[in-house]
Amino acid sequence: MRLFAVLAVLCSLPVGVAAEEVGKVGVDWVGNDIIVEAIADPKVGGVTCHLAYFERSTFDRLRQGNWFEDPSNSAIECVQTGPIDLSQIERGPEGENVFSEGRSLIFKSLRVKRIYDEENHVLIYLAHANEVTEGSAKMAISTVSVNPPQAAEVDR
């Protein structure tokens, strides 16, 4: 039982950086809401992502009988908010986790992963559900263009 409690706490801890709630929109009479959070990329200064997701009310949890879980649906949009520095990021097709937030007691989290497309000079931010027992096809993507390094002048 102690292991279960420890896992529950660990799964709910954020990865990388904390999100700041910037908006909350009520969507129905039972108290379900859409939460909008701002997430500054901790390794790429100058990029802020806004993540929107659904949060179920207590009444809806009681009515549906699924007390410990929120839906996996999310949306993400990222924008350049200052000078971009790529010197600290991990490169490669697997990308790097930027943020994680628990969406159920143990088995599900909402994650944001950063992937750098070096050839096209684009940062890709992927919001997706991560489920221990089954994968999830629910995802959202946003990109931020990064100006390529200026070519050195050969002829002067």
| pLDDT tens-place string over residues 14-66 | 444 678 999 999 888 887 888 899 999 999 989 999 999 887 766 766 676 66
Q: Give the DSSP H or E segment for 39.
A: strand 33-40
| Strand-by-strand arrangement of the 108-117 sheet | 96-102, 108-117, 122-131, 139-145
What is the pLDDT confidence band of residue 8, given thresholds at 50, 70 and 90? very low
**69-97 mean pLDDT:** 87
- Residue 150 domain-assigned (yes or no): no
Round the average pLDDT of the chain to a whole number and report it: 76
Per-residue model confidence (pLDDT) at position 122: 95
**73-80 mean pLDDT:** 90
- Residue 120 domain-assigned (yes or no): yes
Rounded to whole angstroms, the Cα distance separating 52 from 101 reads 12
State if pTM tops 0.75.
no
Note whether 11 and 109 are within 8 A (CB). yes
- Dihedrals phi, psi of 77, to nearest 5 degrees: -145, 130
Per-residue model confidence (pLDDT) at position 76: 93
Q: Which tokens go with 87?
A: 């010197």
Give the chain's domain count. Answer: 1
What is the pLDDT confidence band of residue 103, given thresholds at 50, 70 and 90? low
- Residue 84 domain-assigned (yes or no): yes
Residue 4 has pLDDT above 60, yes or no: no
- Residue 153 domain-assigned (yes or no): no
Q: How would you classify the pairing of strands 108-117 and 122-131?
A: antiparallel
- Residue 58 domain-assigned (yes or no): yes
**125-150 mean pLDDT:** 78
Per-residue model confidence (pLDDT) at position 129: 79
Rounded to whole angstroms, the Cα distance separating 99 from 96 reads 9
- Residue 152 domain-assigned (yes or no): no
**64-74 mean pLDDT:** 65
- Residue 154 domain-assigned (yes or no): no
Per-residue model confidence (pLDDT) at position 71: 61
- Residue 156 domain-assigned (yes or no): no
Residue 91 domain boundaries: 2-145
| β partners of residue 41 | none
